[in-house]
Structure 1
Amino acid sequence: MTKKLILFDIDGTLLDHEKKLPVSAKEAVKSLKEAGHEVAIATGRAPYFFQDLREELAIDSFVCFNGQYVEVDNEVIYKNPLDRTFLVELMDYASLQKHPLVFMGAELMKTTIDYHTGIEDALASLKAGATHPELNANYFNEADIYQTLVFCEEHEEAHYRTNMRNLNFIRWHDYSLDVLPLGGSKAQGIEKLMAKKGFTKDQVYAFGDNLNDIEMLQYVGHGVAMGNAPEVVKKVAKYVTRDVDNDGIVHGLKMVGLL
């Protein structure tokens, strides 16, 4: 079999609804690697939110911050930080709306507020040991920021899309939006990973379940949506597998002939 590249999203894809790694998914990743395939992660998470998972699965290549930061074999090959000018505009606008921000760098994250329940609830939902970030509203001037979180409810997000057209907004939680460079997506980072490893689109498979996976599933040759994905995500995928809680990874890999 020709060597393939298989990319997995984390939340709702590799990890089940309780943020646990199913035994069947772990065994499937091991089988893929033993067969000589490349396995990588493609996530919206920061690298410090899935280090344990990488170690458990022995995965050394990943696309994170929804494509804005890429490591291949433990080497950083791509960085696409947010423009500081746009971050100033975002901070000014969010301040007027009384919406806190979290600035996310490659190693740390900081917030624009001492404490906010929405921040605590959203980060706690990842079950990655994340605590409320420290206050440092100037952090974007001290480090490259690859993703920012703005904390607002769904009915409030249209104002950001209308007034901040130089940024890309993707909802990931009831209380929070990911903020990326305009045009930023997992597909952008995957393109860099593919070029580094020498894969063509037809050799690449990607599994995902949420709105931030749409561009990824469209870009690769073989996009697989999880059964728990919204319909809008399933519609852009080439394949739809079972729910993550019903051995969705294993079933999907069998569907595409990789297991």
Structure 2
Amino acid sequence: MTIKMIASDMDGTFLNDKGTYDRKRFEKLLDRLDEHGIRFVVATGNNMNRVNIMFKGLLDRLDFVAENGAHLLVKGETIDRFVLDQTDVALFLEYFKAQLAAYRVILTGTRHSYMLDAAEWEMVHHMIAPEEAKAFMDAIVRVKSFEDIPKDEPIIKMSMVATDFTEADAVMADFNAHFTGNLTAVSSGFGTIDIIQTGVHKAAGLQILMDRFGISADDLMAFGDSGNDVEMLHLANYSYAVGNAPQIIKQHAKFLAPSHKDDGVLEVIEDYLDNQGLKS
């Protein structure tokens, strides 16, 4: 068993139930990974505004598959970015025109994220630390209409939160069955739905990074807990669902890691390094 790259989802996987992680423990682990040439990839549906907060001071030691594969960075530097077709964005807005505020729709561009003035936002992501939640919301530009978004700013991802978390699966199923454009709805956990370009997902982004560094899927370890992690779990030879993941997600992984509450990702990686004799 040889691992050359490790990829982990953030919310509900790498981050614990308080939306944080053991920084000192991770830095020690990162030192060991660096020493043995193992790359660590943050694979997330989040944009880099929030990721920058989470990993401040470590950006130049990590690779990123952000925006569900639409934004790729190596050691914190952008190497590729995918944008949504304007026609698909318009079709999406038309499809949900009656629920854009109620579903707290967010359109993420290359410079800012946008939400309607009419959208009432409570921090439904209880797993996000309060200070990060505030920073996340402060970075969102409120607009009266999505038509007010600057025309020269491409949209790279769209997301929303169903009014009732239990409603999310039904919303996704309906959208994926009836939407006529080139977009797919995927779960990112806790009632949040990400709308991504069909074929642009975490696995596709990881494959670009793997090709860049000559790494095969046989040498990839990946961790996830939600629908937007499925392709990544299928890609990795060593795929782990954390213990708190829904059963349907666990079925897509080869192995089970401890819950995010128990720092399951760090636990598995440390065990791997210890068992391989890869000491610091």
- Within a 5 Å distance, the mapping from 1:244-255 to structure 2 comes to 244-253=260-269, 254=271
Q: CA offsets per residue over residues 174-201 of structure 1, 9 Å max, x none? A: 5532100012210010011111122111
- Within a 5 Å distance, the mapping from 1:113-132 to structure 2 comes to 113-117=116-120, 119-122=121-124, 126-127=128-129, 128=132, 129-131=135-137
1:184 corresponds to: 200
TM-score (norm 2): 0.81
Alignment of 1:17 onto 2:17: yes
Following superposition, the deviation at residue 244 of structure 1 comes to 1.6
1:66 corresponds to: 68
Pair 224,174 (structure 1): closer, same or farther in 2 beyond 3 Å: closer
- Which region of structure 1 is more displaced relative to structure 2, 170-179 or 15-24? 170-179
Secondary structure at the aligned position of 2:146 is classed as: coil
Cα separation, 2, equivalents of 1:205 and 1:151: 29
- Within a 5 Å distance, the mapping from 1:1-80 to structure 2 comes to 4-22=4-22, 23-58=24-59, 59-80=61-82
Match of residue 158, structure 1, among 163, 168, 173: 173
Match of residue 201, structure 1, among 207, 213, 217: 217
Pair 124,249 (structure 1): closer, same or farther in 2 beyond 3 Å: closer
2:248 corresponds to: 232
Q: CA offsets per residue over residues 88-133 of structure 1, 9 Å max, x none? A: 011112114455521102331012x21322x443467533221153
Pair 175,246 (structure 1): closer, same or farther in 2 beyond 3 Å: closer
Cα separation, 2, equivalents of 1:15 and 1:149: 20
2:96 corresponds to: 94
Cα separation, 2, equivalents of 1:140 and 1:94: 21
* Structure 2 alignment gaps of length 5 or more: none
Q: Percent identical across equivalent pairs? A: 25
Q: Does the 8 A contact of 1:102 with 1:110 survive in 2?
A: yes
TM-score (norm 1): 0.87
The RMSD of aligned alpha carbons is 2.5
Cα separation, 1, equivalents of 2:196 and 2:173: 16
Cα separation, 1, equivalents of 2:150 and 2:127: 25
Cα separation, 1, equivalents of 2:174 and 2:243: 32
Runs of 4+ in 1 over 6 A off after TM superposition: none
Following superposition, the deviation at residue 240 of structure 1 comes to 0.8
Alignment of 1:133 onto 2:141: yes
Alignment of 1:103 onto 2:107: yes
Cα separation, 2, equivalents of 1:255 and 1:2: 10
Equivalent residue pairs, number: 257
Q: Does the 8 A contact of 1:104 with 1:146 survive in 2?
A: yes
2:154 corresponds to: 144
Q: CA offsets per residue over residues 12-33 of structure 1, 9 Å max, x none? A: 2221010111254443333222
Pair 232,3 (structure 1): closer, same or farther in 2 beyond 3 Å: closer
Cα separation, 2, equivalents of 1:242 and 1:125: 17
Match of residue 228, structure 2, among 212, 220, 243: 212
Cα separation, 2, equivalents of 1:140 and 1:231: 42
* Structure 1 alignment gaps of length 5 or more: none
